[in-house]
């Protein structure tokens, strides 16, 4: 990676003063694992699995995989992280855990508590600096780096519990933002500490005329909500009337393309988009330049990755790992194959199943795309639809019909003795017919996925689409206490979440007819 070091007036400093030498991602990963094992060798987890013995092995990676089992969230939390949450030190990582990021499961209603340590925060800041350095590859005007940055996230007013604090990850990051960003950071603590998301949007809209925003970082769905409120409040045609220097959006959390059409209607001029991949467990990847939308895995910043082939040999129909599932390291990844991510981190996650699936294009450069979630994988009759398939099909259907889709979700429902897919799609376009949308979406899915096309002839008897206003999705999220800068609509509905959604729609329908 080429780091360019300079100051633009009093602007953001971009990196070091000399190029950083290229290092093999595989070599970086081996070094990262050894560092993690050394750091955590005297913790309860490290002693239980004898990290010192692993470190003395000729093949550290293989010894690590043989001695330490894979963990899902429940296994990691019940035996280890719950102890750290009771303020026991040195459980999975040295010292006390000062923060826990709360993350609502998207396949069920459980709240997850993910440990966040000063070391993982430092690792995230390291990746953030690199991301900013790589912005120079987008041929942005030099004086743009003197402009302000809007960071759209959750409330930074965290909740104290014992000797630690609890809140959304974006709120924790907001409190620990790099010192070099503080001068440029908006909206500021007087706004980020407001508990209610809707109230924060209102304050941002009020203050917006006094800011000179060049960059925006955040989930595109919530950035769009902010833009819409600003335009409404100040009677503007597009956001560049108030922020003429806005040139780059760093987005993540959800697939961008379904939002592109409606988002760009709010702009007065083209902007650059940088995809990023950050989870509560760490900063995993980002798009290093404009030549491709692929992400590059960050291999030397506090995370050791493993990859479980995402197939029926390793996962059951519910997305659960089989006991004999095997993982490979980066050196053995096959391009074009889907993998579920395992993470070992400097926050004390060990061989932890993140839940996302990815597909590599170039292993040497560690470039890949996110394809979905292990539990957001719809396959009731063998149709094997990934979230990636769904995103592409929705995007193509939206482009053809000009529906203005912002959100969607899908569930499997009984259709007599067979199964059907029930889609819920947001649009405020009154001219779109559900039957026409269903027919086009079905055709796109059959073109994208061979398994889906086969099962539509036999076991998957129907595809149903219900068109809903955009507000229905956001109001439902608000009713669940999930209307914030980090939450996202689940793409596949199952279990209690599906029941809750269907009950909400019935309640809305009853109110409309009463």
Angle ∠(399,400,402) on CA atoms, nearest 5: 60
pLDDT tens digit string along 43-62?
Answer: 999 999 999 999 999 999 99
Mean pLDDT on 296-307? 97
pTM tops 0.85, yes or no: no
Tell me: do 431 and 479 sit in the same domain: yes
- Residue 163 belongs to a domain: yes
- Residue 45 belongs to a domain: yes
> For 456-461, which contacts have Cβ atoms below 8 Å and span 24 or more sequence positions?
456/383, 458/381, 459/381, 459/382, 459/418, 459/419, 460/380, 460/381, 460/383, 460/418, 460/419, 460/420, 460/421, 461/415, 461/416, 461/418, 461/419, 461/420
d(CA 282, CA 120): 7
pLDDT tens digit string along 360-375?
Answer: 999 999 999 998 777 7
Q: What is the CATH number of the domain that holds 189?
A: 3.40.50
Tell me: do 130 and 245 sit in the same domain: yes
- Please check the confidence at residue 107 and state whether its pLDDT lies above 70: no
Tell me: do 233 and 342 sit in the same domain: no
- Residue 378 belongs to a domain: no
Tell me: do 108 and 127 sit in the same domain: no
Tell me: do 367 and 391 sit in the same domain: no
- What is the structure's pLDDT at 180? 67
- Residue 379 belongs to a domain: no
Q: 489 pLDDT band (50/70/90 cuts)? A: confident
Tell me: do 432 and 471 sit in the same domain: yes
Tell me: do 125 and 270 sit in the same domain: yes
Tell me: do 494 and 399 sit in the same domain: yes
- Residue 13 belongs to a domain: no
d(CA 246, CA 269): 9
Q: What is the CATH number of the domain that holds 419?
A: 3.30.300
Tell me: do 101 and 125 sit in the same domain: no
- Residue 291 belongs to a domain: no
Q: 7 pLDDT band (50/70/90 cuts)? A: very low
pLDDT tens digit string along 501-512?
Answer: 999 999 988 887
Q: What is the percent of the chain where pLDDT is above 90?
A: 62
Tell me: do 198 and 247 sit in the same domain: yes
Q: Which domain holds residue 123?
A: 119-286
> 12-21, 101-110, 183-192 — which one is most confidently predicted on average?
183-192
d(CA 384, CA 455): 10
SS3 call for 253: coil
Q: What token pair was written down for 369? A: 């795309």
DSSP state of 20: P
Last residue of a domain, one of 286, 318, 333: 286
Tell me: do 306 and 409 sit in the same domain: no
Tell me: do 108 and 132 sit in the same domain: no
- Please check the confidence at residue 5 and state whether its pLDDT lies above 50: no
- What is the structure's pLDDT at 486? 61
DSSP state of 330: G
pLDDT tens digit string along 316-349?
Answer: 866 789 999 999 999 999 999 999 999 999 999 9
- DSSP letters, 406-418, are --EEEEEEEETTE
- Residue 254 belongs to a domain: yes
Least confident residue range of 150-159, 282-291, 297-306: 150-159
- What is the structure's pLDDT at 372? 79
Mean pLDDT of the chain, nearest integer:
88
- What is the structure's pLDDT at 19? 41
Domains in the chain: how many in total? 3
């Amino acid at each position: 990676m080429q780091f360019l070091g300079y100051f633009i007036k009093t602007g953001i400093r971009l990196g070091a003063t000399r190029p950083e030498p290229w290092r093999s991602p595989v070599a970086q990963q081996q070094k990262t694992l050894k560092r993690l094992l050394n750091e955590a060798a005297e913790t309860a987890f490290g002693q239980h699995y004898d990290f010192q013995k692993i470190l003395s092995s000729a093949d550290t990676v293989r010894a690590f995989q043989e001695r330490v089992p894979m963990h899902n969230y429940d296994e990691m939390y019940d035996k280890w992280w719950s102890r750290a949450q009771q303020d026991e030190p040195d459980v999975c990582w040295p010292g006390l855990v000062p923060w826990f990021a709360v993350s609502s499961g998207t396949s069920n209603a459980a709240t997850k508590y993910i440990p966040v340590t000063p070391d993982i925060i430092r690792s995230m800041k390291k990746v953030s600096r690199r991301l900013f350095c790589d912005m120079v590859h987008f041929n942005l005007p030099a004086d743009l780096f003197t402009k302000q940055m809007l960071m759209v996230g959750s409330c930074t007013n965290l909740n104290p519990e014992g000797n630690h604090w609890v809140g959304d990850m974006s709120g924790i990051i907001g409190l620990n933002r790099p010192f070099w960003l503080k001068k440029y950071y908006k909206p500021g603590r007087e706004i980020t500490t407001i508990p209610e998301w809707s109230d924060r949007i209102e304050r941002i809209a009020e203050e917006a005329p006094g800011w000179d925003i060049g960059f925006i970082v955040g989930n595109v769905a919530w950035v769009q909500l902010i833009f819409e409120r600003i335009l409404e409040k100040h009677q503007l045609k597009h956001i560049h009337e108030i922020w003429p220097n806005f040139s780059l959006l760093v987005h993540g959390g959800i697939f961008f393309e379904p939002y592109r059409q409606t988002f760009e209607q709010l702009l007065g001029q083209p902007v650059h988009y940088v995809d990023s991949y950050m989870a509560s467990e760490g900063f995993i990847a980002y798009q290093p330049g404009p030549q491709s939308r692929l992400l590059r895995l960050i291999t030397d910043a506090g995370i050791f990755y493993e990859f479980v082939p995402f197939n029926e040999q390793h996962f059951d129909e519910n997305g659960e790992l089989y006991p004999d599932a095997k993982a490979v390291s980066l050196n053995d990844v096959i391009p074009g194959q889907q993998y579920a991510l395992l993470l070992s981190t400097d926050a004390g996650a060990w061989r932890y199943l993140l839940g996302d699936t990815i597909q590599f294009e170039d292993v040497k450069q560690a470039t890949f795309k996110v394809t979905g979630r292990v539990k957001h994988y719809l396959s009731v009759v063998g149709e094997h639809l990934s979230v990636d398939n769904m995103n592409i099909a929705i995007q193509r259907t939206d482009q053809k019909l000009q529906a203005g889709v912002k959100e969607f979700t899908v569930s499997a429902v009984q259709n007599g003795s067979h199964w059907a897919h029930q889609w819920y799609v947001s649009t405020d376009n009154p001219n779109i017919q559900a039957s026409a949308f269903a027919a086009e979406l079905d055709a796109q899915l059959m073109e994208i996925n061979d398994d889906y096309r086969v099962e539509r002839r036999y076991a998957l008897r129907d595809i149903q689409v219900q068109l809903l206003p955009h507000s229905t999705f956001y109001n439902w999220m608000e009713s669940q206490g999930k209307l914030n800068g980090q939450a996202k609509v689940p793409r596949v509905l199952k279990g209690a979440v599906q029941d809750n959604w269907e009950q909400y729609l019935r309640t809305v329908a009853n109110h409309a007819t009463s």
